[in-house]
Amino acid sequence: MLTPASSATKPDPQDLLAWYDRHRRDLPWRAKPAETANPYRVWLSEIMLQQTTVAAVKPYYLKFLERFPTVEALADAPSEAVMQAWAGLGYYSRARNLHACAKAVVEKHGGRFPATEADLLKLPGIGAYTAAAVAAIAFNEKAAAVDGNVERVMSRLYMVEEPLPKAKPLIRSLTEELVPEDRPGDFAQAVMDLGATICTPKRPACALCPWMVPCRARAEGLQETFPKKQKKEAGQLRKGAAFVVLRADDTILLRTRPPTGLLGGMVEPPTSEWMPDYEPSRAVLDAPIEARWQRLPGIVRHVFTHFPLELTVLFAKVARGTPAPDDMRWTPRLQLHEEALPGAMKKVLVHALGELPGAKVKASGQKATKGA
């Protein structure tokens, strides 16, 4: 549902492009003016940026690109290397899909990304937004790439009263109407930049906006009330136990999670099941090996996308030569930073060991800003 247009003028894509030419952000994956965009870099950045901020992505992107400079290099890499390079970015199914997509591009397309939105959609892990973004930015196809920034800009521009996510089809349609025949890739990036730097969630800088005049929400002084959103139900708290074992040769017991599901393919110290009614006092019954277990004070808290988690940490020291249980292994403590450890498990290890060599981790108990 749209608020009546009244006397508002129609947004002009050329006004936005003129603003973009003066104020475009300098991003490591973005082609310079007059340069041709690299499809691999565009695709990689778009996957990394899903549910993650530009500031958080930049260092990961540069390191990832150094390690896997081409789609062929990524396709040829073992999955463990890809997951390790991704560790810390969260939403780990993206890394698995990224690897599968690279393999598909190499095996089915000779290492060249398809040039159309329709064909890009056929690749693993590429949804409507990513297909449109890559098609527009890398191949200059007239496609509407609608991310959270674009949804915010369009919902304010047209005063879309219908709440998200129900409003997504309408917002996409409104965006499609504005995409120009010339420079659709620059238009896609311009709307993203506008949402990220001017049309921000709080205190938008409307006076600097190239679409200030046609913006209906601004005209009514209601810009900060858009987009409308349905309230999310908080996920139920889950509890569990994590077991950190230090062997006398300075190695730590780890295991790799199953390849699918939450944190699929990532590495962790052994844990119990995570359940709403888990009883920490019985945690020792879930321990992976016989040892003199010490329950550490405090708990480790982490917030995933759909639920919060609280882990009680148990610590034990065992003799040199103690065998690892099936599907587990011993890893040198000083090499833990090379493992594909998600944020929650880094917190567990820091809680037990006091530090994680080579890694930057929030103190246990702090709320995570990204589901990992």
* Least confidently predicted of 133-142, 151-160, 214-223, 332-341: 332-341
The distance in angstroms from the start CA to the end CA of the chain is 35
Alpha-carbon torsion, ordered 89, 92, 97, 98, to 10 deg: 20
Q: Identify the weakest region by mean pLDDT among 4-18, 42-56, 103-117, 261-275.
A: 4-18
Three-state secondary-structure class, residue 356: coil
Mean pLDDT over residues 336-348, rounded? 92
Cα 190 to chain center, whole Å?
21
Percent of the chain at pLDDT > 70 equals: 94
Alpha carbon dihedral 88, 93, 94, 98, in 10-degree steps, equals: 110
Contact 247, 254 (CB under 8 A): no
Residue 358's pLDDT is 62
Confidence of residue 231 (pLDDT cuts 50, 70, 90): confident
The answer to whether residue 117 scores a pLDDT higher than 50 is: yes
Mean pLDDT of 154-179: 96
Which residues are within 8 A (CB) of 53 and not within 5 positions of it... i.e. 6 or more apart?
none
Q: Is the pLDDT of residue 366 over 70?
A: no
pLDDT class of 264 with cuts at 50, 70, 90? confident
Q: Quick one: DSSP state of residue 305?
A: S
Query: With 0-12 CB in 10 A as exposed, 13-18 as middle and 19+ as buried, what is 320?
Result: exposed
pLDDT of residue 92: 80
pTM of the predicted protein model: 0.72
Cβ atoms of 361 and 347 closer than 8 Å? yes
Q: Are 101 and 123 in contact (CB under 8 A)?
A: yes
Which tokens sit at 27?
A: 């991003």
Catalytic residues: 46
Packing angle between helix 93-109 and helix 39-49, nearest 10 degrees? 160
Q: Is the pLDDT of residue 272 over 90?
A: yes
What would the mean pLDDT of 261-267 be, rounded to a whole number?
87
Instruction: Specify the amino acid at residue 19.
Output: W
Q: Does the N-terminal peptide bond of residue 342 adopt cis geometry, omega within 30 degrees of 0?
A: no
In single-letter form, the type of residue at position 39 comes to P
Which residues 6+ apart lie within 8 Å of 15 measured at CB?
210, 211
Q: Quote the CA–CA distance of 275 and 277 in Å, as a whole number.
A: 5
User: pLDDT tens across 10-59, in order?
Assistant: 899 999 999 999 999 999 999 999 899 999 999 999 999 988 889 999 99
